[in-house]
């Protein structure tokens, strides 16, 4: 994934598109808040993978708003499906990220929107309504938190060593990771000072950008989960790669997001030798 902005001339990094994405994430967040503690029907769409009525309502809201305003654009959304278009701008939607949390009124959940053009994440918006925060980033335009009517720039932490780091992870998938034993994620977690499993990939990524966490290791390839982190963290001065240190792409099998080197390098070295 190119987040360098080198092809920026052809990419729509406009304020107008950005504001639309942010506003839409906020609207989905408001809907979530209006249904806090009443998620409606909860279904297990796959083992330990939940979808609530509110996931579907947020998704409908997002898709109809995008189709009305940008009818030419492609959409890939977690529940509804779709595709990432090679030729057209694509919206990646995670209508409720942290559904398991939301289903039991744990406040760590959010609505995630990423806009992709030519394989590059150009806009990201993560609205976490119970926290009162909107995290957002625009390629080449920085990363910010809007909270209580104030907009503040996001900046990653300065933690340099894993032994001093707060590391976030997809802990619910640790069982599977232990079985294959190749990725060395256990070793990374064991070497960290603090481990945080928040239950929301969107909040986790935003919190690296904000400096509350120093790194995270994710071992899935659900682009709607990771794309916001890639842009938020890059724009906040950090680094995001796949598990081998190559640039993250929409097809990558995992994501390492950190405050940058030397911490990023230390994690990559542990994964490479495991
Ligand atoms: C999940 C959450 C969770 C992460 C999983 C995701 P969902 O998203 O982000 O933190 O561990 O990998 O699938 O299903 O709540 O949108
Ligand atoms: Ca998700
Ligand atoms: Ca989701």
Summarised one tens digit per residue, pLDDT across range 144-163 is 999 999 999 999 999 999 99
The CB of 59 under 6 Å from ligand 1? The reply is no
The CB of 94 under 6 Å from ligand 1? The reply is yes
| Rounded-to-integer distance, Cα 5 and Cα 116, Å | 13
The CB of 97 under 6 Å from ligand 1? The reply is yes
- Does 108 share its domain with 135? yes
What's the mean pLDDT in 47-76?
97
What percent of the chain is helix, strand and coil (3-state, nearest 5)? 35, 25, 35
- Does 126 share its domain with 215? no
Where b means 16+ CB within 10 Å and e means fewer, 168-186 reads bbbeeeeeebeeeeebbbe
In a domain, 6, yes or no: no
In a domain, 41, yes or no: yes
pLDDT at 5: 37
Of 94, 118, 153, which closes a domain? Answer: 153
In a domain, 5, yes or no: no
- Banded pLDDT at 224 (limits 50, 70, 90): very high
| Rounded-to-integer distance, Cα 149 and Cα 145, Å | 10
What's the gap in Å between 237 CA and the centre of ligand 1?
24
CATH number at residue 218: 3.40.190.80
20-35 residue pLDDT tens: 999 999 999 999 999 9
In a domain, 4, yes or no: no
What's the gap in Å between 274 CA and the centre of ligand 3?
31
In a domain, 3, yes or no: no
- Which of 173, 216, 225, 254 to probe ligand 1 with, by most ligand atoms within 8 A of CB? 225
- Does 125 share its domain with 209? no
Ligand 1 atom at minimal distance to the Cα of residue 224: 16
Residue of the nearest CA to atom 12 in ligand 1?
Answer: 170
- Banded pLDDT at 8 (limits 50, 70, 90): very low
In a domain, 125, yes or no: yes
Ligand 1 atom at minimal distance to the Cα of residue 204: 10
- Banded pLDDT at 221 (limits 50, 70, 90): confident
Model confidence, pTM: 0.94
pLDDT at 92: 98
**269 vs 175, higher pLDDT:** 269
Compute the radius of gyration of the chain from its Cα atoms: 17
- Does 222 share its domain with 244? yes
What's the gap in Å between 138 CA and the centre of ligand 1?
23
pLDDT at 206: 98
| Rounded-to-integer distance, Cα 127 and Cα 136, Å | 8
- Banded pLDDT at 3 (limits 50, 70, 90): very low
Name the residue range of residue 181's domain.
162-272
Q: Which of 80-84, 107-111, 176-180 has the lowest mean pLDDT?
A: 176-180
Q: How many domains does the chain have?
A: 2
The CB of 237 under 6 Å from ligand 1? The reply is no
């Amino acid at each position: 994934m190119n987040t360098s902005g080198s092809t920026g001339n052809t990419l729509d990094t406009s304020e107008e598109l950005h504001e639309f994405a942010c506003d839409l994430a906020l609207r989905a967040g408001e809907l979530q808040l209006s249904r806090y503690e009443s998620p409606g029907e909860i279904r297990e769409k796959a083992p330990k993978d939940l979808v609530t009525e509110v996931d579907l309502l947020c998704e409908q809201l997002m898709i109809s708003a995008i189709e009305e305003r940008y009818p030419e654009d492609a959409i890939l959304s977690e529940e509804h499906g779709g595709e990432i278009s090679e030729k057209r701008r694509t919206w990646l939607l995670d209508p409720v990220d942290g559904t398991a949390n939301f289903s039991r009124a744990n406040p760590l959940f959010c609505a995630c929107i990423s806009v992709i053009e030519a394989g590059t994440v150009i806009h990201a918006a993560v609205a976490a309504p119970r926290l009162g925060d909107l995290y957002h980033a625009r390629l080449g335009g920085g990363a910010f938190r809007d909270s209580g009517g104030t907009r503040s720039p996001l900046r990653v932490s300065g933690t340099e060593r894993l032994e001093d780091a707060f590391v976030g992870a997809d802990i619910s998938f640790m069982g599977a990771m232990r079985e294959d034993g190749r990725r060395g994620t256990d070793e990374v977690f064991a070497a960290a000072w603090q481990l945080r499993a928040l239950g929301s990939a969107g909040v986790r990524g935003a919190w690296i950008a904000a400096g509350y966490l120093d790194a995270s290791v994710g071992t899935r390839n659900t682009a709607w989960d990771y794309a916001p982190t890639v842009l938020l963290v890059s724009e906040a001065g950090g680094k995001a790669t796949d598990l081998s240190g190559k640039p993250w792409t929409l097809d990558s099998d995992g994501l390492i997001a950190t405050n940058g080197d030397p911490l990023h390098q230390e994690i990559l070295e542990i994964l490479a030798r495991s």
